[in-house]
A = this chain, B = another copy of it.
């Protein structure tokens, strides 16, 4: 018998349903926030039993983390699509791409940063590493703009800059406590990046 074919037939179905469950969960989170996600709703929407969700993801956290994993992957993909020719443009592009993603997927991003594990189980290493990698994407352009600075220093600078951008955006998009009016956010964010770069001795067109 053809193991590959037979196995794949079952697996394809399994994978298909897994993808369906993830998609449904993502829609719930995106639409109404992480707290609105219920195992029973997901199972019913997918046309399977509660137990199947557990078979697939182990527990509820497993499902959430799977969605979050894909969220950080999508975010990273978007950040990596920013043109790299001009390092200054790239930095602005990264900030703007982050803002764009946060605007379009506010609840998914919140789920990524606000979800706490049950009990004291450790946060999955791989998601952690992916978020760190995303936050390190300002490193390369900053190195080009600050060739004389200690690389370790630049590494920290880039993560701080990204953290700052994250703070401005995540508070700015919070409907409650609007630190910065959303309609101005894009322009102001660019201004912030410029100001900070100026403080680092980098001027536009220099």
Task: Give the CA-CA distance A184 to B157 in the complex, in Å.
Answer: 12
Chain B residue, CB-CB nearest to A184:
B156
Q: Are B195 and A179 neighbours in the complex by a CB distance under 8 Å?
A: no
Q: Are A163 and B167 neighbours in the complex by a CB distance under 8 Å?
A: yes
Q: Are A116 and B35 neighbours in the complex by a CB distance under 8 Å?
A: yes
Interface residues on chain A, size class? 35 or more
Q: Does A168 contact B (CB under 8 A)?
A: yes
Task: Give the CA-CA distance A181 to B160 in the complex, in Å.
Answer: 10
Q: Are A192 and B176 neighbours in the complex by a CB distance under 8 Å?
A: no
Asked whether A164 and B162 contact (CB < 8 A) given A131-B177, A196-B195, the answer is no
Beyond A34-B116, A132-B177, A160-B180, list 8 extra A-B contacts (CB 8 Å): A35-B116, A131-B177, A156-B184, A167-B170, A194-B199, A195-B196, A196-B196, A196-B199
